[in-house]
Amino acid sequence: MRVWNGLLQKEWKLSRKGFWQNLAILFVIWMTSIGAALYWKEPELTVGIGVFLISIHLLYIVGDMFVSLNKEAKSMLWLHNPNSAFPLLSSKLIVSITTCLVSLLSTIALVFISSLLFQIPIGMEWKVGEIFIFLIGLFLASIYLGVWFILFWVSFKSATKSAMGVAMQVLTVILIWPVFHLHLLFYKSYLYEKLLSIGKIPFLTVGSAFENEVFSFGMEIGEFSLALIGFFGLVSFFLMLFSSWCMNKKMEM
């Protein structure tokens, strides 16, 4: 536990400046939206911007891990750390998840204040329960994307500077699209249908389409299940284990 506590404290010290800056930026954008709504007499503007700020938290952990891991890579201290890679990576992820949750809740609070000031319903045609489901789904999806990013980052950085290493880095980047497509195929599979039937609940779903040479991407309330949440949680755990294994190999070199 001492190792975990020490690493968590270290990660918080490294990330807290960026975290407070992030909250300050959110507050400035919110204040600007209030001023713009009053100036143009468009009260819906401030709520619309607030909802957008909530939605971009889908990529919060990816962005936060990008900054944190690259700081670590520049210092090169992770190559000489006596601890294994799993607590190193998981402590970063835990801090990132925590700051994401605080940032998301803070943004929700600002949107709620905007709705009270201008007397505009937050969810428009959505019910309170659906809004709650949307926020939980957004948060869990952000974690899942963050775990995948860790794997790609570790795979990219673990490659040597040789020609073979460069080829591995290129392959890592290319594999992003097949992984995305693999998830789309999974949603059409028999396994998905079976898991969906176990503990079915309303949940945030992500959809994409490619029509008339135009790629579209969106989020909506659809069906999900507790079994699928457990499945993706298990996938995330094994991704972290594999990322740690790759990083341990790099640290041993």
Q: How confident is the model at residue 214 (pLDDT cuts 50, 70, 90)?
A: very low
* Of residues 89, 86, 79, the one with CA closest to residue 252: 79
Domain spans in the chain, listed from the N-terminal domain onward: 2-252
Q: Flag whether the pTM goes above 0.75.
A: yes
Higher pLDDT, 203 or 117: 117
Instruction: Catalogue the E-assigned strands of the chain.
Output: 200-211, 214-225
CB atoms within 10 A of CB 93: 21
**Residues forming beta bridges with residue 223, ordered by sequence position:** 202
Q: What is the pLDDT of residues 29-70, one digit of tens each?
A: 999 999 888 888 888 888 888 888 998 999 999 999 999 888
Q: What is the pLDDT of residues 167-196, one digit of tens each?
A: 666 667 777 788 888 888 898 899 999 998
93 Cβ neighbours under 8 A, 6+ residues apart: 61, 65, 143, 146, 147, 150, 240
* DSSP letter, residue 28: H
Q: What is the pLDDT of residues 85-138, one digit of tens each?
A: 888 899 999 999 999 999 999 999 998 888 888 887 665 556 666 778 888 888
Contact status, residue 118 vs residue 41, Cβ threshold 8 Å: no
